[in-house]
Structure 1
Amino acid sequence: MSSTKSDNPTPPKIASTSVKNNWRSFISLISKAKPSYAMLSIALSLSLITTVVGLFVPLFTKNLVDGFSLDSLESYQIVLLVCAFVAQTIAGGLSIYLLNKFGQQILSGLRDLLWRKLLYLPVAHYDKEETGGLISRVTNDTNVVKQVVSEHMSGFVGGIISIIGSVVILLTLDWQMTLLLLVAVPLTLVILLPLGKKMHQISRNMQNETASFTSVLTQVLSEVRLVKSSNAEPIEYGRGKQGIDKLFKLGVREGKIQAFIGPLMGVVIMTLMVVIIGYGGLRVSNGSITAGELVAFILYLIQIIMPLGQITAFFTQLQKAIGATERMIDILGHSEEVQDQGLQVPAADSSITLKQLTFRYDNGEEILKSVDFTVPSGKITALVGPSGSGKTTLFSLLERYYEPQEGSITYGNHEINDFSLKSWRSQIGYVSQESPLMSGTIRENITYGLDREVSDEQLATVARMAYADGFIEELPEGYNTEVGERGMKLSGGQRQRIAIARALLRNPRILMLDEATSALDSTSERVVQEALNNLMKGRTTLVIAHRLSTVVDADQIIFLDKGSITGNGTHEQLVASHDLYREFATQQLRYQEQPI
């Protein structure tokens, strides 16, 4: 039996200790975004040119100071210095632009990878993940990775070259003063490294809290009508305030570390400046070095100290990026649904057979237990039973959102898993109690998901069959009317008729109705029921029935109770043979010992 999951080996997850907190995972993730490494090479080369040019300026200054006089100042020296500054400025500007473009390529590539992955992940993944957290991965975490490349990499690479070049030149100028300078480096690292680890921990916690806060915002704002109708504003404000306070505390902790690093670097710089100027002044007075060499030494000292801040910022941002990388690689490592792998559904209509179907969520309690029945081709089969009996889960298995632990579902001579997902799902039309609409126009919602052109005539035909043409034509923009987020600009009955028109346009062989009229008023229910009758003609139909009045004429009724089938037959047969169904009928239809 073929699987809907990818047959490719699952990439190693970031939870493995060999990859976690490792820069290799960061580089691996960037490579998946497929940025232009030629652009990066050019940008870094220009950055190196800027740095190297800067290394020769103190030597020029040294010669200028030692031999300064109006007679000795040649015009070519001034021109050379101006050219150096101009070249440095142009190279620096181009480097910043190219690095920013390189970073945007990474940002775009990562978001493309994550967006595609999220769309093709199975429904089961979303049962475990909060939507807001996933949104944070695509928006916030990708931006963190981009920043470390576009905003900090140039400073890091240039800083390293500047420090190495400056130290080499200083050793040639005066090795004794250089060694005195280098004593401060290990002392500074001893303090900065523990702070860097602490910053990494805070950054990871901050990213997790940001994801949680985004999740709260997404949930609340998407259901703002429920919040208001329940007078739940104070409760939701409290939830949001909790997230805000946590982020505030983490931000303050991050600020404390930065507040410690900044003054520490300032003290180191001032101490080195005082020591070098004092010690250098003594060496100038006794003739060991010239005044020009002391000036050059101070300038090189600045070229060593200034990049230290950039390098520190790079590693701080890298720690954040590694945390973000872990979560993104975790998402990208999950198996996704394969849409086109498998057989095409045969042209001939067939019955659907469920054999010994057993299903549980995450190896918990069984929702369906050894379910056996057949859905005849072209007939109406109703699913009836108490809430929680497994009716909606059965629909999810037919849609192949999940796979059963035991048993099978066959269509004709093939198990449905033998068919490609795209082919199988194209055979199914689904209308739920609250049919969801996407933000956009009525036309876009009716044609949603179709990869073919739909003419105005086709659109008008399905709208008429769905009894939607009347209200659509009354709207100022007609089929180009915006429905609002989740279709909130339309009434419940109007949304249902748009969903029915969408199903009619797909022309499915198999129709699944989750009691599409149960939430409507009597007027809307009557119109929608007429539209559903048009939709059901000649199709294999499965109906989840919350009200028996809508399914008394079904060809067969399956009664589910606690995941098992306890009755199967027509309405009259079940009234005569099934006690719980008879009780349902008595309550809902006011059954009085005679056929309804």
Structure 2
Amino acid sequence: MDNKTSLKDFLELIRQTRLNKGLFAAGIFLTLIGTIGSLIVPLLTQSFIDGYDTELFSTGLIALIIAVFVLSAALDGVAYYILARIGQTIILRLRERVWDKFLKLPIRYFDQTKSGESVSRVVNDTAIIKDLITSHFPQLISGIISVIGAVIILFILDWRMSLIMFIAVPVSLVIIMPLGRKMSRISRALQDETAAFTGVIQETLSEMRLVKSFNGEAYERKRGRTGIRSLYGYGMKEATINAFLSPIMGTVMMFVIILIIGYGGLRVSEGTLSMGTMVAFLLYLFQIIMPMTMFAMFFTEYNKALGATERIIGILGKEEEGAQDNTLETSLDFKILAFDNVSFGYDPDKEILHQISLTANSNQKVAFVGPSGSGKSTIFALIERYYDVDAGSITVDGTDIRDIPLNTLRRQIGYVAQESAIISGTIRDNITYGLESHEYTEADVELAVRRSYSHEFIEMLDQGLDTEVGERGIKLSGGQRQRIGIARAFLKDPKLLMLDEATASLDSRSEKFVQEALDDLMQGRTVLVIAHRLSTIINSDRIFFLDNGYITGEGTHRELIENHTMYRIFTEQQFG
């Protein structure tokens, strides 16, 4: 994959994190001072070796060398801390931006993207950028200063020997450039593979009961090992390049060192070069060699960071859901919900709903019946605006829901699905989920618990409402999770109530009480019900029969029994 992201894009992404330029400049300045200090040490060493006669001055010079060395190291430490703090702050804000963006993306994005890949973007890609800023960039600055300073001093000390050193430059570039480009491609592929593998692992671990129940260990072992071996393959490709790069660079540098020692030794024996200058020259040479090997690593990490930047920019640039605006929250009454010739498909070339028109009024119970896959749950998803319609419109009190701020719309909708979603945390956390603390009282929570018939099992728990439910509510039974979902809807007190087989997971005794509670909750609201058991919707004000995305019948239970063949068959199958 070609790298479409430039340094300009990377710098713009960093700028958007509100980089503290003053602190960054201070870190670079201290790095500069520390590097200059390290450049002074060889000169002092030269002066010491070349001979000052007085013992006192030699001792003072030793002390000065040590002091400069210690000060340089201390400044490097302070500079590293400052730049590390800047890097951590940048990554903090970058992760916040990416996380906030994920929360604003439409459901369609999550339908198409594995959650593990999204996790990799928040954790792995941002970490790559952090490493470049925190570690590799300071090393680059220090290395550049060190190399430039050392080269200048070397030419001042002895330009003839300095020319020998430059033999390594064209040789190094010939080696580093092609290997660096190849390493860049491998690193980017490794990032993609890591994200995909993270997605597979997370998916498998979250559905471990499915794996165990259907003896899927062998399949998952094969799938996991395929990903692991793929990562191993990319890792070995990186190792192969490094296996070539390090020895070759080491050999080139060693060849240069041998040449300089040989030529310098000859000059020293002839008396045209002092021993101190020779030692200083070698010290400066090492200050050039170390950054040169680091530059190759920086080039690789820089390309990794560009790849990560491309992915993060791609996420940040995705279209968000509709606008959020708390100021209009009280203006929605949900007296009339209307579908006007609504058509919709999850894929552009495959329509699920065809020209659906219906109306639901406040104080009405409207039910949807039909075979699986007929589009009943899709209607609920469109009302929640998980997706926008492809044609037609959905209106609330005459206003198109696309013109209503999402939080205003969803604040007035209570949705109890066939299997209520549970987050890790306490029972209280789940019941009050999405509500601010000022929106309810402890008495409201207790009432919601009792009206949903959740108190029956909550009172038996040692921690009561503060009981931890585990990941995805794994410590609770299906019926308990469902009753918590119903309690959540009670507490929200919505104006539109949508029930998707809300009592399906309950035993007959619990269902009786919960159904009575739901009947109370339905009063004064617009109520939509999806039901497979017709006993729960016989008394509905209006029943719509869906088949293959079309409304093929509507009316009361009695009217449909008389006029709709398929509905009559459904009824006879359940009641005989």
Question: What range describes the TM-score normalised by the shorter chain of this pair?
Answer: over 0.9
Question: Which residue pairs with 2:362 in the alignment?
Answer: 377
- Cα distance in 1, alignment partners of residues 571 and 278 from structure 2: 101
The reply to whether residue 555 of structure 1 matches residue 541 of structure 2 is yes
- Cα distance in 2, alignment partners of residues 319 and 276 from structure 1: 35
After superposition, the Cα gap between the structure-2 partners of 1:61 and 1:462, relative to the gap in structure 1 and judged at 3 Å, is same
CA displacement at 1:348 relative to structure 2? 4.5
Residue 291 of structure 1, aligned match among 275, 278, 286: 275
Question: Which residue pairs with 1:132 in the alignment?
Answer: 116
Question: Which residue pairs with 2:457 in the alignment?
Answer: 471
What's the secondary structure of 1:80's corresponding residue? helix
Q: How does 1:92-107 map to 2 (within 5 A)?
A: 92-107=76-91
After superposition, the Cα gap between the structure-2 partners of 1:72 and 1:493, relative to the gap in structure 1 and judged at 3 Å, is closer
Tell me, yes or no, if the aligned pair for 2:420 and 2:482 is still in contact at 8 Å: yes
CA displacement at 1:238 relative to structure 2? 1.3
After superposition, the Cα gap between the structure-2 partners of 1:29 and 1:400, relative to the gap in structure 1 and judged at 3 Å, is same
After superposition, the Cα gap between the structure-2 partners of 1:349 and 1:177, relative to the gap in structure 1 and judged at 3 Å, is closer
After superposition, the Cα gap between the structure-2 partners of 1:161 and 1:589, relative to the gap in structure 1 and judged at 3 Å, is same
Question: Which residue pairs with 1:161 in the alignment?
Answer: 145
Residue 542 of structure 1, aligned match among 528, 541, 553: 528
Residue 564 of structure 2, aligned match among 578, 581, 587: 578
Question: Which residue pairs with 1:352 in the alignment?
Answer: 337
CA displacement at 1:407 relative to structure 2? 0.6
Deviates most, 481-490 or 281-290: 281-290
The reply to whether residue 194 of structure 1 matches residue 189 of structure 2 is no
Aligned CA RMSD, in angstroms, stands at: 1.8
Q: How does 1:456-535 map to 2 (within 5 A)?
A: 456-535=442-521
Q: Deviations over 1:461-485 (max 9, x none)?
A: 1111111122212211111111111
Question: Which residue pairs with 1:174 in the alignment?
Answer: 158
Question: Which residue pairs with 1:309 in the alignment?
Answer: 293
Question: Which residue pairs with 1:441 in the alignment?
Answer: 426
The reply to whether residue 141 of structure 1 matches residue 125 of structure 2 is yes
Q: Percent identity?
A: 48
CA displacement at 1:200 relative to structure 2? 0.8
The reply to whether residue 215 of structure 1 matches residue 199 of structure 2 is yes
What's the secondary structure of 2:388's corresponding residue? coil
Residue 423 of structure 1, aligned match among 408, 418, 422: 408
- Cα distance in 2, alignment partners of residues 233 and 567 from structure 1: 47
Q: Residue 257 of structure 1 aligns to which amino acid in structure 2?
A: I
- Cα distance in 1, alignment partners of residues 5 and 270 from structure 2: 53
Tell me, yes or no, if the aligned pair for 2:168 and 2:253 is still in contact at 8 Å: no
Deviates most, 278-287 or 476-485: 278-287
Question: Which residue pairs with 2:222 in the alignment?
Answer: 238
Between Structure 1 and Structure 2, how many residues are aligned? 574
What's the secondary structure of 2:352's corresponding residue? strand
Deviates most, 238-247 or 409-418: 409-418
Tell me, yes or no, if the aligned pair for 1:350 and 1:412 is still in contact at 8 Å: yes
Tell me, yes or no, if the aligned pair for 1:26 and 1:325 is still in contact at 8 Å: yes
- Cα distance in 2, alignment partners of residues 446 and 519 from structure 1: 18
CA displacement at 1:344 relative to structure 2? 4.4
Any unmatched runs of 5+ in structure 2? none
Tell me, yes or no, if the aligned pair for 2:326 and 2:408 is still in contact at 8 Å: no
Tell me, yes or no, if the aligned pair for 1:409 and 1:415 is still in contact at 8 Å: yes
Deviates most, 36-45 or 84-93: 36-45
What's the secondary structure of 2:437's corresponding residue? coil
- Cα distance in 1, alignment partners of residues 163 and 58 from structure 2: 35
Residue 382 of structure 2, aligned match among 390, 393, 397: 397
TM-score, scaled to structure 1: 0.93
- Cα distance in 2, alignment partners of residues 449 and 136 from structure 1: 26
CA displacement at 1:529 relative to structure 2? 2.4
CA displacement at 1:68 relative to structure 2? 4.6
- Cα distance in 2, alignment partners of residues 347 and 121 from structure 1: 24
CA displacement at 1:75 relative to structure 2? 4.4
Residue 352 of structure 2, aligned match among 367, 391, 411: 367
- Cα distance in 1, alignment partners of residues 139 and 474 from structure 2: 50
What's the secondary structure of 1:357's corresponding residue? strand
Question: Which residue pairs with 1:64 in the alignment?
Answer: 48
CA displacement at 1:172 relative to structure 2? 1.6
Q: How does 1:585-596 map to 2 (within 5 A)?
A: 585-590=571-576
After superposition, the Cα gap between the structure-2 partners of 1:300 and 1:444, relative to the gap in structure 1 and judged at 3 Å, is same
Q: Deviations over 1:537-577 (max 9, x none)?
A: 22211011122221111111101111111100011111111
- Cα distance in 2, alignment partners of residues 442 and 142 from structure 1: 33
Q: Deviations over 1:379-437 (max 9, x none)?
A: 11011111111111111110011111111111112122222111111110000011011
TM-score, scaled to structure 2: 0.96
- Cα distance in 2, alignment partners of residues 497 and 61 from structure 1: 79
- Cα distance in 2, alignment partners of residues 72 and 517 from structure 1: 94
Tell me, yes or no, if the aligned pair for 1:345 and 1:424 is still in contact at 8 Å: no
CA displacement at 1:339 relative to structure 2? 1.3
Tell me, yes or no, if the aligned pair for 1:47 and 1:91 is still in contact at 8 Å: yes
After superposition, the Cα gap between the structure-2 partners of 1:506 and 1:70, relative to the gap in structure 1 and judged at 3 Å, is same
The reply to whether residue 113 of structure 1 matches residue 97 of structure 2 is yes
CA displacement at 1:100 relative to structure 2? 1.5
Residue 35 of structure 1, aligned match among 19, 29, 44: 19
